[in-house]
Structures are given as structure tokens and as C-alpha cells.
Amino acid sequence: MRQQTHKRGRFTNKTVAIVAALALGGGGAAIIAANASAHGDKSDSNQNNTVAAKAGTIQCPDVGQNLSDVPSRARPEVDKSLAELDNQVAKAYQQMNSQQQGSSDAVLSKLNEQRSQTLDDIGTAMGGDNSQLQGMTDCKWQGVATSAGGDQQQGGQQQGSQQQGGDQQGDQQQGGDQQGDQQQGGDQQGGQQQGGQQQGGEGANDVPGNAGGQAGNGPSPDDFVDITKVQPNVKQPPQAQGNGSTGTFSSECGVGDAGLRNSDNVIVAPGVGNGAHHTHDYVGNDSNDAFANNQTFEQAGTSCTNGDKSTYYWPVVRAQDGKDEQDANELGGGQEGNVGTILTPKSSTIEFKGNAQSKVTAMPKFLRVITGDAKALTNGDKNANASWSCTGFEDRQLTDKYPLCPQGSSVTRTFDFQSCWDGKNIDSANHRDHVAFANEDGSCPNGFQAIPQLVNTLTYDVPANTPFAVDGFPEQLHKPITDHDDFINVMSDDLMNKAVDCINSGKKCS
């Protein structure tokens, strides 16, 4: 295991501003946002490659999600080209935020020129078929509004004398008691901001050149909400019918090894280093990087106590504490705005559940499934499946807010994976079409059959008075809605059959 080292940066010029102070339980918690530099004022260092602060994000059409019909022979080349599109955006984002670069128009013009050539390469790989690439060329810069005083605002309108901890003035209210179009539980509409409401005067978004977060590209104050102010919003699962399957099968796989972390994504960008542009934690299979393949997985070891060689991976969570992580000057880390101390999960629970309407069938070996959308900020929430909460408050789940937990409560991330399979494919061109979520009554859509549903729950002890953020693509501003999780089934046939039998017979097994 690689040893992690942390080094505290020196902050100057009022670099730490308290942007939300919420009375939580018996103790108090304050959300703080640091200066735009991830490393503070380091006069003793010549290196600071972190993405600088600029209010806004690059928005490009997501080509990968629109590719539903790619010949199998073309997929390796197409995947590499899709990864190159992400790489182009990451570089443009760095250029956009560099004082040495020209105008944003010049950067976007160069980006779109490169993008056009890569799209042509994708079309060529697919035999000259560009029909699925129409309208995918142009990227745009979406700025963030600023107030007259220069203080940055996101997701709504900041008012000068708003109060904290749920004591809001005017029409703004927290805790689910909303008026008009304002909604609680993470869906921000109208002009409301929660969890990061500013008081007038000192500390009200007073972070020079920063939209929030120590790297300047998020998170922002209004990305946080006091979980005690959120009303219960979790629907009860459909009641199991006569032919339903009610058992559970668990794999104990640990919480991840820091030595296995990388910024690859073998599902989305196989064969491409730094294909994720953010760092993943891994449990299960111990040979997961961009260059792994099915044979590699089968020959590898595993952290799972029952011999499950499946690979489970998710973006790391970092405390925005002003400290340098080991990857502070590396791609996937500080160079792409992913900064702060990586938090190792306190626990990771991996369960496979049944279907309310039918028995489940075995997953095929090497089935690949992604839940959530790493680009939900720019793509919209169609595929978003983030679920944030706190222990003791699991009946309150947040999609586009990070929870502020009371003293003694841990932050949770829960990933409910798709539980219906098309019966034919272990993957699809956009990595989504071969699986589906069940309908509200638990039944699978036409043409799909029920498989064991993976539910992965992670818990974290976040340091007191410290904001946190999930790693992500630099243009996604570390929004909580971009959270996602990845899974490749590498269970042996015997172990998968055991899981299916356990689930279908209503037992609890591991």
C-alpha cells in the first residue's frame, strides 16, 4: 500500500470564509470554503498545477450517451475517441482558467475544432456512419452569475440578510416547508439556496474568484443542506408478490486499498490511462485499471472474503481541508481540480437483492453496469442516480445536495443499480441500453428479465467543520448529482448460482 502524505497549505488574504454555520445536534458544524488555490500560498513551492478558479463550466453534448448502435468491431476505437473528447474538454477547462490563455472564445474555438476531427474519427470507425453524431460538435461556456459586489452565486439568488440554520427570511424556508415553487430535499428551484445561505457582511460568498471549494471549481456553498431540515422523502419499495424474490446475498469486500486507486475507467475508456479524469476507489478484484480485460479479472485476486472477483469502484470523496493529497500535482488529481484529503470509507456494504414481481436469473459473467451519471451537471438529470444521506436519517435521500450530518452521524452514499437485463449483452455502446431499472411495481420493462439488484452503501466520517466533495470531471464542478458507481460481475458460476438460489428462496446469505 502506498503511504499517503498530507501537507497543510498556508492561507492568506482572508482565504477561509465561513459560508454556512448550521447548528447540528449538540455540537455546531461550519461549512468552510478555501481559496481558489488548492494549496494556498506556497511561496516555497514552484508547483501549483491545480485548476484555477473561474465561475462557470464547459458544456458539451455527451456523445457517448447518444451512441446506441455501434458495431462491436468498432467499439475499441470509438471508446478511445470518446476518451479523447473528455481529454480535450479537460485541457480546455485548464486553459480557460489560466491567466496566460486568451479569451474563452479562442479556447472554445480550438476545442470545437479538435472535437470535430475526433467526431469524424468516430464516424469513420463506424463505417462512415455519422448519423448518430449530428449536433454533437459545439461546446459552450456556461458562466455563473455574479452579484454587483463580485460575489458569486450559483443555482439561485443570494439575498443580503438571509439567516442560517433554517431561520430564513422572506419566502425562503427549509425543512420541507416550502412555498411557491421552492422544493426541499435537493431539488433547487426558483431563487432558493439551502445549506449554504449567507449572512450579510463578512463571509457571504467572500472567496476571491471562487465559486466555492478549495480548487475553485466547486463545490459551492449551496451544494450543502442540513439533513435535519430535510423532510422524509423515501418511498416504500413495492410489496413482494407471490412469485417475488425476497432474499439477499452479500459480499464482504472491505473499504478499498489506497494502493489500488487510479483515475482510469475500464468500462467507459478501456485502454486509456486517466480515462476518468478523477480518482476511483476499488474493492473486490485487485487488477482493475484501464488495461484490464476479462482474462485479467479471472486471474486476479480479490478483497472479497467469499471469493467474489467482481470489481466494484466509485469516485473518491475528499475533505476540502487545504491539505495536499499524494496526487496533488497529477492528472486525475490536483491538475484537474480534484483536491483535498481522500477519505477512506468507514464501511462498504455490498448486497444483491431480489425482485418484487418475479424470481431473478443469473447475471452473465463480465456484465458491466454503471449507475448514475458522472456528467449530470451538463447532461441533465435523466441518468442521475446519486443518493446522499446520513446514518440515522436514511429516510431522507438527496440527489443534488451534500448532507450536513449532526454530531455522531456519518455521511452515506447509496447506489441502487439497474436490476433488469436484456438477456443478451454484457455491455452496450452507451453502457446503459443493455440494462434497465424496474418499473414502480417492481416488474421489468418489456424485453428485460430480473437479475439480482446490486445495492452498494458507503459511509464516511467527515472531519468536523470541513466541507467535502466527490471527485469528478473538472467541468462538472464537483456537484453531488454527478455521483456514480461502476460494477463488473466476475463471480464464478457456482457463486452466482448460490446468490440466485439464496435470493429466490428468501434467505440471507454471503
Q: Residue 333: pLDDT above 70?
A: yes
219 and 270 in a single domain? The answer is no
Domain boundary among 177, 199, 229: 229
pLDDT at 26: 29
Q: Report the SS3 class of residue 481.
A: helix
Count, in order, helices (H) and strands (E) of the chain.
Answer: 5, 22
pLDDT in the model for residue 478 = 96
Write the DSSP symbol of residue 227: G
pLDDT in tens, 435-466: 999 999 999 999 999 999 999 999 999 998 89
- Read off the C-alpha cell for 324: 495536499
Predicted local confidence at residue 263, as pLDDT: 97
Indicate if 460 and 353 belong to the same structural domain.
yes
Q: Which amino acid is at 304?
A: C
Residues paired with residue 312 on neighbouring β-strands, in sequence order? 283, 487
Same domain for 225 and 255? Answer: no
Task: Kindly report, residue by residue over 186-236, the tens digit of the pLDDT.
Answer: 343 333 333 333 322 222 222 222 335 777 788 999 999 999 999 999 999
Residue 49 has a pLDDT of: 39
DSSP label of 139 = -
Most confidently modeled range among 142-146, 193-197, 299-303: 299-303
What distance in Å separates the CA atoms of residue 435 and residue 161, rounded to the nearest whole number? 48
Contact 262, 280 (CB under 8 A): yes
Flag whether 237 is in a domain. no
Are 16 and 31 contacting, i.e. CB atoms less than 8 angstroms apart?
A: no
**In what helix (H) or strand (E) does residue 495 lie, and over which residues does it extend?**
helix 493-504
Residue 353 has pLDDT above 60, yes or no: yes
Confidence at 285, pLDDT banded by 50, 70, 90: very high
**H or E stretch covering 90:** helix 75-96
pLDDT tens-place string over residues 1-55: 333 333 323 222 232 233 333 323 322 233 333 322 233 333 333 333 344 444 5
Let me know whether 402 and 457 are in one domain.
yes
Cα separation of 58 and 230, whole Å? 31
59-63, 148-152, 347-351, 399-403: least confident range: 148-152
- Shortest CA distance to 85 belongs to which of 223, 345, 275? 275
Q: Pairing state of beta strands 508-509 and 248-251?
A: parallel
Q: Report yes or no: 352 and 454 within 8 Å, Cβ to Cβ.
A: yes
Alpha-carbon Rg of the chain, whole angstroms? 23
Domain boundary, last residue among 194, 229, 264: 229
Whether 343 and 221 share a structural domain: no
**Residue 241 belongs to some domain of the structure:** no
Check residue 55 and give its pLDDT. Answer: 58
Q: Which of 153-162, 182-191, 352-361 has the highest mean pLDDT?
A: 352-361
User: How many residues are given for the chain?
Assistant: 510
Burial annotation 435-450 (CB, 10 A radius, 16+ → b, else e) = bbbbeeebbbeeebeb
Report the alpha-carbon distance of residue 317 to residue 280 in Å, rounded.
9
Amino acid at 483: D
Is 235 among the domain residues? Answer: no
Asked whether residue 238 is domain-assigned, the answer is no
Question: Residue 356 belongs to what H/E stretch?
Answer: none
Do residue 37 and residue 80 come from a single domain? Answer: yes
Whether residues 65 and 136 share a domain: the answer is: yes
With helix as H, strand as E and coil as C, how does 357-413 read? Answer: CCCCCCCCCCCEEEEECCCHHHHCCCCCCCCEEECCCCCCCECCCEEECCCCCCEEE
- Domain range for 121 is 17-229
Residue 508 confidence (pLDDT): 96
101 pLDDT above the threshold of 70: no
Whether 243 is covered by a domain: the verdict is: no
Residues 71 and 197 in one domain: yes
CA proximity to 485, closest of 267, 258, 293, 332: 267
Does one domain contain both 177 and 294?
A: no
Inside any domain, residue 234: no
* Closest CA relative to residue 340, chosen from 219, 475, 256: 219
Phi/psi zone of residue 52: left (φ > 0), alpha (ψ -120 to 50 degrees), beta? beta
Into how many domains does the chain fold?
Answer: 2
Task: Tell me: pLDDT of 428 over 70.
Answer: yes
229: cell is 431540515
Residue 144: the pLDDT is: 56
Condensed to tens digits (0 to 9), the pLDDT of residues 459-485 reads 999 998 899 999 999 999 999 999 999
Do 257 and 316 lie in one domain? The reply is yes
**pLDDT classification of 395: cutoffs 50, 70, 90:** very high
User: Is-contact 144 152, C-beta < 8 A?
Assistant: yes
239 in a domain, yes or no? no
- Asked whether residue 143 falls in the same domain as residue 180, the answer is yes
Residue with cell 474519427: 121
Q: Which domain-ending residue is among 195, 229, 263?
A: 229
Q: What is the pLDDT of residue 96?
A: 77
Q: Where does the pLDDT of residue 103 fall: very low under 50, low under 70, confident under 90, or very high at 90 and above?
A: confident
pLDDT at position 105 is 85
Query: Does residue 53 form part of some domain?
Result: yes
Alpha carbon distance 36, 15 (integer Å): 8
State whether 74 and 174 are in the same domain.
Answer: yes
CA of residue 250 relative to chain centroid, distance: 24
Mean pLDDT of all residues belonging to the chain: 79
Whether residue 328 has pLDDT greater than 80: yes
